[in-house]
Each structure stands twice: as structure tokens, then as C-alpha cells.
Amino acid sequence: MDVISSTGEVSRFRLSREQKKEIDAYCARHRIESRSEFYRFAISQALRPEIEDPDLIFASLKHLHDTMNTVARQQEVLFSYITFLARHFLSYHAEIPNELKEAASISAVERFERVFKSYQASLKNSPSMFESLLADFFEEH
């Protein structure tokens, strides 16, 4: 393949059959009309990548890390709460007689609030990061 520089100098380089197939496949997937257009695109990407600023890259990676860390902490809260609820409800589970089911459903909200307050009280011995996450959660709700 010939490449002509801005000074008119001609340079040659060869592509393997596999590289040509990969380029053609890329062009077809991205609706690039010719190999020449592909080469111009590839050169511009090498010379002017979309993200050049190392500080911007670091900030993006830090944001991603912080987000993933928050999600992991939220999962810990969720699993802890589910475990607490399972322990609470498995320790006592009585069948409700039919005549009391309506009254029981009315009191469900009150019982939930008592359980939730008990759960909050149980977290007093938790690590500070866990408490901080819970404080954020309780402030939002």
C-alpha cells in the first residue's frame, strides 16, 4: 500500500490478509465507505484521541471507583437488613386465625416500624462507615 506524505514522499507498507479482513469487517460494521477513509479515521484517532487529558481520565476512574464502592457498601446494608429480618421473622411465626387477619394487616405498618427501629438500634455496634451509609440512607427516606 502506498502512503503519500504532505511533502509528496511515497511510503509503502504491507497488510496481512487477516488485517485486511479485519479492516473490511470494521468498515462494514461502522459504515465506512473505503479503506482510505478507515486509514484517515485511524490516524486521526491515534493523533487526537477523544480523551487525552490524564487528569480527566483519572477523575473519571476515581468517580467510577467511588460509585462502585458506594454500591458495594449499599449491598452490605441490604444483606445485613435482610439477614436481620429473616432472623426476626423466623424466630417467631404463628398462624393468624381468619377472624384476625384484617386487624393483623392493619397493624402491619406499626409492626414494621417497630422492627425497623429495632434494626436501627442494632447497628450501634457497627463500623463507622456502615453507620455513615445508613445515616445517608435514613436522611433520604
- In tens, the pLDDT along 24-49 reads 999 999 888 888 888 888 888 777 76
The predicted model scores a pTM of 0.34
The mean pLDDT of 52-63, rounded to a whole number, is 78
Per-residue model confidence (pLDDT) at position 94: 72
**Which of the two residues, 61 and 3, has the higher pLDDT score?**
61
The three-state (H, E, C) secondary structure of 8-50, written as one string: CCEEECCCCHHHHHHHHHHHHHCCCCCHHHHHHHHHHHHHCCC
Encode pLDDT of 65-113 as tens digits: 999 998 998 898 888 889 898 888 877 777 788 888 888 888 888 888 8
Closest CA to 81 of 114, 116, 111: 116
CA distance 108 to 88: 15
Closest CA to 119 of 93, 104, 95, 138: 138
CA distance 80 to 63: 26
Q: Which three cell numbers stand for residue 94?
A: 404463628
Give me the phi and psi of 100, to 5 degrees please. -105, 0
Per-residue model confidence (pLDDT) at position 68: 93
